[in-house]
Amino acid sequence: MRRAALLAALLIVTVAPPVSAAPPPVPVVDYLKRISGTRTVTGMHNKEPNSDPARHTAKVHAVTGVYPGLWGGDFLFAADDVAHRQTMVDQAKTEWRNGSLVALTWHVCPPTRGSACAWDAGVQDRLTDAQWSQLVTDGTALNNAWKARLDEVVPFLRQLLDAGVQPLFRPLHEMNDPWAWWGGRPGASGSRRLYQITHDHLVRTRGLTGMAWVWNVKDLDAAGMAGYYPGAAYADVVSLDAWNSFWPSTTYYNTLKTIANGKPIALAEVGRVPSPQELASQPDWTYFMAWPEFFDDKTLNPDSAVRATYGSPRAVNQGQLTAGANLALGRPAYSTAVEGPAYPAANAVDGNPATRWSSAHTDQHSLWVDLGSARQVGRVRLVWEAAYARQYQVQTSLDGVTWTTVHEDYAADGGTDEVTVNATARYVKLYAFQRGTPYGYSLWEMGVY
C-alpha cells in the first residue's frame, strides 16, 4: 500500500465542469499531459494466459532490474482466459498499488457469438453489411447483444474504479484495419460509431466515469485515419500501433498530433522497444507498450537496447510516476541578492503564475530549492519572465555543499525551458552567469519533477 496513496495524490487535480454531456477528463490524462514532450512511460502488455497476468512484465524486470511504468492487461476471448478475468483484474490492482499505470485491451468476441470464442472463428469474423447496420442501430437484436457483451466486463471495470484504479481503456483497437470483426469500416456509421456506442453505454448508461478512453489506429493509411476518429468527447488519449514499421514515420506522428489536437498521444503497441534517441526525436509520445512475443525476440530487442531505454532520463518506470509532480512546490527556496522584497526566491516555487523571483541586475546569481529529502529528479522546468539568462547551469546536491552540474545552456533564449536530467538530489539550483537583457534574472516558476 505504500505507493497507492502516493499515486492517488499524484493524480489528484481539479477538473472543470463537463461541457455538454461529456464526462470530465480523468487525472491520469492530466498526468500524461504534464509529461508530454519530456518523459515517456515504459510499458509491457500481458496477453494470454490471464491465469498468469504478470509473466511478461516479469521479463522486463529480468532484463532491466525495474518494472515498466505501465502494465497492460486484456479481457481476451478464449474460454480459459475469460474464466480468469478476475485474476487479471486483481493483478491490475496490484500493479497500480506498486506504482504503474494500468492499460486494458479487449480482444472481444463479436455479438454473433458467445462470450468465449476462437481467434479465427470469432475475433477475426467478418459481419455482413446488414449485420453491421443492425449492430449500430439502437434497439435491434445485435445492438442489444453488443451491450450485453459489454456488460460482462462492467463488474470488473467497476472493481478497478472502486479500488482507485483509473485504467486506460482501449476498446476496438486498430479500428482502421479489417483484421478484426470491428475494424475497417470508415465513416459515420462505421467502426467509429461502434466505439461511440461502446463509450456511451459504459459511461452514460453504466456510470463508469473514471476511465481514460484510448482511441487507437494502426500505422496504415495516415490520410484515412481521421475518418475513424469518434470525436473529441469520446477520446482522452489518441494512440497508434506501430506494426508496419517498428518506429512510426514523421507523417504518422504528425497525423496523430493533428487528430489529438492537444490530447496526449501514445504508442499503444510496439514490437520493438523505442530507443532513447527515437523517443527524443518524437517527444510527445507519452507512453509505449511493447508486445510480448516481439519483446522475446533478442534480435529485435537485444538486452542492451532495452536497458538503454529503461535507464534513460526520459523513461518513467514503475514507482517513478512522481516525475509528474512538482517536487519544488511550496518547498524552502533561497537565492543570492534579489531586486527587492517583492521578488523573493519563494515566488518561484509558490505555484502562482502571477508572482516571480527577480535577481539584482548583475551577472552571477543563484536560485536553489530544498526538496526536503533525497528525491529522484528527472526534469527541471524554468519559466522565464522577460529578463532571462543567456547562459546558465542546473546543479544538484545531496548536502547543499557539494554541487554537480547536470545541465548547461550557453545559448538560451528565454521562454520556457524543459530541462531533462537524471539525478538523485535534495537540492536543485539554477546558477545563471550571463544575462540576456540589461536587467537581472527573473523566473515565474522553477519546477522540479
167 in Cβ contact with 208 (< 8 Å): no
Look up residue 319 and give its three cell numbers. 514507482
In sign, the C-alpha dihedral spanning 219, 222, 224, 228 is positive
Cα 302 from Cα 325, distance rounded (Å): 32
168 in Cβ contact with 41 (< 8 Å): no
Which residue type sits at 169? F
416 in Cβ contact with 379 (< 8 Å): no
Residue of 243, 447, 241, 219 lying closest to 351 (CA atoms): 447
**Is 269 among the residues known to form the active site?**
yes
Cα 167 from Cα 198, distance rounded (Å): 16
In sign, the C-alpha dihedral spanning 267, 271, 273, 277 is negative
Cα 431 from Cα 331, distance rounded (Å): 18
Cα 381 from Cα 34, distance rounded (Å): 11
| Distant-in-sequence, close-in-space partners of 356: CB < 8 Å, separation ≥ 6 | 343, 347, 348, 385, 442, 443, 444
User: Which segments of 252-403 are extended strands (E)?
Assistant: 265-270, 285-290, 315-316, 333-335, 357-358, 365-384, 389-397
| Residue among 95, 269, 339, 445 flagged as catalytic | 269
In sign, the C-alpha dihedral spanning 297, 303, 308, 311 is positive
* DSSP-derived pairing of the beta strands 416-435 and 365-384: antiparallel
92 in Cβ contact with 102 (< 8 Å): yes
**Is 174 among the residues known to form the active site?**
yes
Stretch (H or E) spanning 3: none
| Residue among 48, 95, 174, 339 flagged as catalytic | 174
**Length of the chain in residues, anyone?**
449
User: Taking the CA atoms of the chain, what radius of gyration do you get in angstroms?
Assistant: 24
Residue of 7, 12, 119, 8 lying closest to 74 (CA atoms): 119
Which residues participate in catalysis according to the annotation? 174, 269
